[in-house]
Amino acid sequence: MWFSKLRERINLSIYNSKDFVFSFLRLANIIVAVSMIAVLIYYYGFPQTSESKSFLTSIIKLSFIYYICRFLIKLIYNFNIIRFFKENKSETVIVILLIFTMILMYFLEGQMLTKKIGGLDISDIADISNIIIQVFFIAYVISDVFRKTEFRQYFKIHPGLLFILSILFIILIGTGLLMLPEMTHAGNEMSFIDRLFLATSATSVTGLSTVDISSALTLKGQFVVLLLIQVGALNTIAFAALYILIAKIGVGVKQHDVIEDFVNKFTFIDTDKIFYRIVKWILFIEFVGFILIFLLLEAKGLFGDTSARLFHALYQSVSSFCNAGLSSIPNGLMNDSLVDNYPLHAITLVLFFLGGFGMVYLFDFFGIRNLRKRMKYPWKKLRFDTRIVLYTTLFLLVMGAIVFYIFEHDRLLEGKSGIGVAVTTIFSSMTTRSAGFTTVDMGSLSLPVLVFFLFLMFVGASSGSTGGGIRVSTFAILISSVVSTIKRRPHVEILQRTIDNDLVLKAYSVFIFFIVGNIIGIFALSVTEYEAIEAGRFQFENIVFEHVSAMSTAGLTTGITKELTQSGKIVLILSMFIGRVGTLTIAYLFGKQVLNRKYKYPKGHIMIG
């Protein structure tokens, strides 16, 4: 009782200063966040002496103290402690981790702890904790600034342009980080184009690379690439939800067409719930994948050290779910120690299938509430768009597997066990959806399989996923449109539903834009790589496969990526960028907005076919 009275007196005495203190904290948040970004870049990006390391560590400790003090000040000014902890769960957890990290750093200074935990040095734990906590707290501070500020007036910008700028910003930041001295091993210098190429590939979750990241990049450099993969994938999946959340519903009606392509059926009112739900599902799936992969990596050779197994398992899980196709393991899944690890291949396959399926459809398929409804009411079905994506995906998967088996069963599949044949066949078919991982040499594929895989990459994955291509829903509408035309139906029909004409026109637009983009890109590559083609080092089909893979963000290659000219690399950089942001997004951006759609010109007739 006395504590409550004392607290009430304190709150009343400091109440008048609350606005001033909180305004000061918001300003201090920005200063500390910017300062810590600069300190972390310098600390981990440049060689350090013992003196500079000690000085920078002191600054990091001061930032920790500031964050803790900030939390305590907010707690003191709050009248309801229980409600405060409920409303600030994330910050509370981060502050607890901060205190834990400070204790680790204290012990390290006193050299009281020099042991290893499962092969992982205590200093490594402190460094990892430092980076993760700083990144999360900076993100939290930035989100706090967004919550307290009215941004509607600044978000009248076209969402297509904002999406393009966000991807471009991440790529440039990633390129800058990869240019730091500590990101590459001595003797493995990378050109600016190679770094830009890798940053673009990681951000667009493509998977093509002009260097072997496992040997060219240091652990820090590989961590930067992993961060680009995660941020790039999250930006792609949850962009619209984040856009509306930050803009506080300040989106014009004329912009809903672009936003709708991202958020699908969700309402704008529930956008904050959607965004956090997407983040939670992504992190949960990646965590489960990380645990399973860690258990499947045999503790010997490259994975003999526990810390190495942890790192490679995390990298494989994130890269798989995000359909990035980049691996910290030399040669990826074709590494000698992994090439016959079929359970690992299966887990990887499931991860990139889920990542390429689309979060909207995953919610419908695996959401607890939806599962309960379908169990309680057996007549309830999956949503119409979920069924379209599922059926089309399974159809393409089966067709790809059949074609691969027919032409490769006595070549690439020769000598494999029954399980090995099944997993490799399904894996090879599914990876064309945009995964980028491979368990066979793509350069050794027979020409019929290569051509069919080109088609599968062109179609790509699902809308609202980490995959690329024209998307399976677009393909389904195009096929249905052709069938309806042949049968002379007045409307396009799928699964006893009529497809709106606007959607059909949009599907054809995506298809045409993608065709034109690939034709232009392939022509450009044939010019930049003309000498290699003439010399017989490249075949024309290699050029075609490489470009379609880049623009579809599939990440598969016949092995020519590292041998491309600088000009050829620039062509692929542009293709990966355009493939990520989407041709239709660019068309929306530069297309003229029609002010009035309620008009119609006289009919015209022209012969077709």
297 residue type, one letter = L
> CA 44 → CA 27, 335, 480, distances in Å?
26, 29, 54
What's the confidence (pLDDT) of residue 114?
Answer: 44
Backbone angles phi, psi at 61, to 5 degrees: -65, -40
DSSP secondary structure string, 403-419? HHHHHHTTTTTTT--HH
Residue 492: strand pairing partners: 499
Q: What is the pLDDT of residues 259-279, one digit of tens each?
A: 444 444 444 445 556 777 888
Instruction: HSE, CB side, 13 Å, CA atoms: give it for residue 445.
Output: 27
Rounded to whole angstroms, the Cα distance separating 431 from 127 reads 35
Q: In the numeric block, which tokens belong to residue 293?
A: 């992969």
Classify residue 339 as exposed, middle or buried by CB count within 10 Å of its CB (0-12, 13-18, 19+): middle
The closest of 450, 457, 496, 505 to 477, measured between CA atoms, is 505
565: left (phi over 0), alpha (psi -120 to 50) or beta: beta
Task: Please give the torsion angle defined by the CA atoms of residues 289, 290, 294 and 297, in that order, rounded to the nearest 10 degrees.
Answer: 60
Averaged pLDDT in 10-residue chunks for the chain of 609 residues: 62 70 80 82 84 82 81 77 75 74 61 43 53 62 56 57 82 92 83 93 90 88 91 75 50 45 46 74 92 91 84 92 89 88 93 86 83 78 86 93 93 88 93 87 90 93 81 90 88 85 85 91 94 90 93 90 93 92 63 54 64
Q: What is the pLDDT of residue 435?
A: 82
d(CA 63, CA 43): 14
Residue 454: closest CA among 548, 582, 352: 548
Residue 256 · residue 345 · CB < 8 Å:
no
Q: Is 184 helix (H, G, I), strand (E, B) or coil?
A: strand
Backbone angles phi, psi at 165, to 5 degrees: -65, -35
Stated pTM of the model: 0.85
Supply 11's token pair.
């709150």
DSSP string, 486-508: HTT-SSEEETTEEEPHHHHHHHH
Query: What does the alpha-carbon distance between residue 323 and residue 205 come to, in Å, rounded to a whole number?
Result: 6
3-state secondary structure of 72: helix
At residue 48, the 3 state secondary structure works out as coil
Whole-angstrom distance, CA of residue 241 vs CA of residue 238: 5
| Residue 181 Cα to chain centre, angstroms | 26
**Domain map (residue ranges) of the chain:** 1-149, 381-590
Q: Look-up: residue for tokens 């045409």?
A: 512
Q: What is the dihedral of CA 401, 404, 407, 413, to 10 degrees?
A: -100
* 204 strand-pairing partners: none
Give ∠ CA 259-263-266 in degrees, rounded to 5: 120
Distance in angstroms (rounded) separating the CA atoms of residues 570 and 212: 18
For residue 588, give both structure tokens. Answer: 């929306």
Q: Which residue has the tokens 């012990």?
A: 107
CA distances, 573 to each of 77, 197, 429, 499 (Å): 51, 6, 25, 35
- In a 13 Å sphere around the CA of 46, the CA atoms on its Cβ side amount to 13
Cα(539)–Cα(537) distance, integer angstroms: 7
Tens-place pLDDT, residues 561-577: 999 999 999 999 999 99
- Count CA atoms closer than 13 A to 278's CA, side-chain side: 29
Distance CA 468, CA 462 (A): 8
Indicate the length of the chain as a whole number.
Answer: 609
**DSSP SS3 for 204:** coil
Burial class (CB in 10 A: 0-12, 13-18, 19+), 370: middle
Residue 426's nearest CA partner among 442, 410, 405, 449 is: 405
pLDDT at 155: 52
CB atoms < 10 A from the CB of 554, how many?
A: 32
